[in-house]
Amino acid sequence: MVKVIFVCLGNICRSPMAEAVFRDMVEKEGLADKIQIDSAATSTWEQGNPVHKGTVDRLAKENISTKGMFSRTLEDKDLDYDYIVGMDESNIKNIKKFVAGRESGQIKMLLEYAGDKSSIADPWYTGDFDKTYQDVLRGTRALLEVIKGDLRNG
């Protein structure tokens, strides 16, 4: 089992989008029993809140549902994930502060898996959920290729 957790500031816009898009992709590839997927926030600001309407509406166009998903904050048990995937530089800084040198999975920004050092813009501020979706799709596709490699190598 390979374990992946997507992390952003609020866990209502970007990381739940990445979680739902990646889960859909993994299910379509028949790998759902081999890859565990979750998402979390670096803050407590949106704790318990549902996914942002902008994310819900953009994903509905892809027939992807976010039903039953609610914001939660990153916790100690998440150190167990093999891939802790942030959306921007600030997420990475906050994840590393939380990990505080303890043993953890690989901590990287999502687009790094697509060979791109850029952040995924926060639609909470930009309002551009489509741009975020395109970036999330590019990043998650690249991450899935990396993980398929892991699965092949046992």
Q: Given the rule CB under 6 A, which residues bind ligand 4NP? A: 8-14, 45-46, 122, 124
Q: Is residue 8 annotated as part of the catalytic site, yes or no?
A: yes
The owner of tokens 């992807």 is 64
Minimum separation from the CB atom of position 43 to ligand 4NP (A) = 7
Q: At a CB cut-off of 8 Å and minimum separation 6, what does 29 contact?
A: 144, 148
Radius of gyration of the chain (CA): 14
Minimum separation from the CB atom of position 112 to ligand 4NP (A) = 17
Q: Is residue 13 annotated as part of the catalytic site, yes or no?
A: no
Mapped onto helix, strand or coil, the DSSP state of residue 39 is: strand
Rounded Cα gap, residues 54 and 123, in angstroms: 8
The residue annotated as part of the active site, out of 38, 78, 122, 135, is: 122
Strands of the sheet containing 83-86, edge to edge, are 35-41, 2-8, 83-86, 106-109
Nearer of residues 2 and 38 to ligand 4NP, judged by Cβ: 38
Nearer of residues 50 and 116 to ligand 4NP, judged by Cβ: 50
The residue annotated as part of the active site, out of 8, 23, 58, 88, is: 8
In the bound complex, which residue of the shown chain has the CB atom lying closest to ligand 4NP? 10
Nearer of residues 25 and 94 to ligand 4NP, judged by Cβ: 94
- The terminus-to-terminus CA distance of the chain in angstroms comes to 10
Q: Which residues are catalytically annotated?
A: 8, 14, 122
